[in-house]
Amino acid sequence: MNTQSRLTVLTRPWHANFTESNHLGQAFLAEPHKFDKVLTRVFTASRLADNPLTAMTKGMGRTSEIESFDWEWELMGASSRPLTAIAAAVGTGINNTAFTLTMDEDWFKPGDVISPNAGTERILVRIQSGPAPSGGGFAYVCRLQSDDVVSALAVAQAAAGVQWSKMFSVYEEGGDQSGSTTYAMPMKLRSQLSTLRKEYSITGDAANQALVVALMDAEGKVYKDYKWLKYAEAEYWIQWHKEKERILWYGQMANNVAGANGRSARTGPGVQELLKDSHVHIYNTLTETLIREYLLDIFFGRVDMSNRNIVAYTGEYGMLAFHQAMSNASAPFLTVDSKFITGEGRDLAFGGQFVKYIGPNGITLTLRHNPLYDDREINHIIHPSLQVPVESMRFTFLDFGNAGGEANIKYVHKKNGYKLGYVSGLQTPYGPNKGGIMSNAKDAYTMIVHDQCGIQIDDVTRCGELILGLQ
């Protein structure tokens, strides 16, 4: 046959007399040995380990169902706080004389004994009268609660900006005054869901196209029909759940971006945006001391010592940095330790990895891997020497504990917000259309999935982030 014929799609080289393996390879009559025809992709719908935030919220039953797109919640703060001096004190109090403090609020009453957060020694000051409006603040006439005539306010204690805390209230015999009581009013917070949609289309011919690979699901079942349809659906669900996980971490509040029909394509905040008002610290070198002091800062004076459990999500290089920090801190205690040296004779093994930290004052930290922080597809800032995403060394500390019977972190979804449907033509998801109703004239069908979800953190002050700084 003429090799230039329009029917020719492939020609093979000729050879004569002596045949060698190269000839067969060039002619595509021989092919390399294929060790495994199973395509190692999984159905992420049943494999939440690749989506850790979804696993720890939705997967653990920490969910809230709402009927609107927005939701609100209230957070109660501390019932008392220090007041701040907005001007320097007038007088020092020496020789038991009166002096004036001007504060930012009118909460204190005569008889309240207050103390500043400045100076080398604690002093006690009793409010004698007030408050009286003064220069945008409130003036209190005070005296030192002391019989020492040489006692006086130190320069640091008399300055503007000093915070004064109420200690208690004291009164004279037969007095008719009483101490102040302060009340915390709840803060109202508001967030919103994100609307996600995804689709794929497939023609009738492609749906029945055989593949040279099989598919394996999360339970290890191999799909041996080798059809493109199975691969398309597997890839579709993998990407769908990955995109949902991404918006739970990286979503940013937006209400003014218009979609194709003119309505807003709204998005809700993800974890990282929610934590901007939490304990965020930039670090250069991770150490056990840094981790300890950082966690103490989160919990100190706020969370009971019996309930200081927190989870840190990080990438692979963050896990390595954590291990190195714990190894350095524990080196004096590991000179002889069967947990790091196992086996005997010529079968010795050395190694281990720190993934948990039990700190002082009841702190327990558990390390979890977050695959998103290692994903080069979305993390483009690369560490100059390690050549991995800087995000891989980010630590996101999340306290999932209960507060008032409710989980601190929850997956929020709209009631009936999850929808799944098909737009079918001559091809349907169940095979060729043989007399059924069609939505279009194409030999194809489209699958569309829709969901409305978000993440809620009731109290972000129980969480925080350590972010690697490049200096």
The per-residue pLDDT for 468 is 92
Q: How far is CA 328 from CA 286, 323, 341, 456, in A?
A: 11, 9, 17, 36
DSSP letter at 446 equals E
Residue 337, token pair as written in the block: 């330790």
Residue 398, token pair as written in the block: 């999340």
Q: Is the dihedral of CA 299, 303, 307, 313 positive or negative?
A: negative
Report residues of the chain scoring pLDDT below 70. Answer: 1-49, 74-80, 183-187, 210-231, 301-302, 333-351, 403-405, 471
Q: Is the dihedral of CA 345, 350, 356, 359 positive or negative?
A: positive
The per-residue pLDDT for 427 is 87
- CB neighbour list of residue 412: distance below 8 Å, 6 or more residues apart: 63, 64, 65, 66, 71, 191, 193, 453, 454, 455, 456
The span from the CA of 125 to the CA of 169, in Å, is 11
Residue 158 phi, psi dihedral angles, 5° rounding: -90, 0
The per-residue pLDDT for 140 is 96
- CB neighbour list of residue 156: distance below 8 Å, 6 or more residues apart: 118, 119, 162
Which residues are registered as beta bridge partners of 201? 446
Contacts 24+ apart (CB under 8 A), 182-188: 182/79, 182/80, 182/81, 182/107, 183/79, 184/76, 184/77, 184/78, 184/79, 184/80, 186/74, 186/75, 186/76, 186/77, 187/74, 187/75, 187/76, 187/77, 188/72, 188/73, 188/74
Residue 231 phi, psi dihedral angles, 5° rounding: -65, -45
The span from the CA of 307 to the CA of 172, in Å, is 42
| 8 Å CB contact between 334 and 350 | no
Q: Which of 110, 111, 158 is nearest to 131 (CA)?
A: 110
DSSP letter at 273 equals H
Question: Any idea which residue has 């079918």 for tokens?
Answer: 424
Q: Is the dihedral of CA 436, 441, 446, 450 positive or negative?
A: negative
> CA geometry: angle at 316 spanning 315 and 319, to 5°?
90
| 8 Å CB contact between 239 and 198 | yes
Burial of 213 (0-12, 13-18, 19+ CB in 10 A): middle
The span from the CA of 372 to the CA of 367, in Å, is 15
The span from the CA of 336 to the CA of 425, in Å, is 71
The per-residue pLDDT for 128 is 95
The span from the CA of 142 to the CA of 97, in Å, is 9
The per-residue pLDDT for 160 is 93
The per-residue pLDDT for 34 is 45
The per-residue pLDDT for 77 is 55
The per-residue pLDDT for 313 is 95
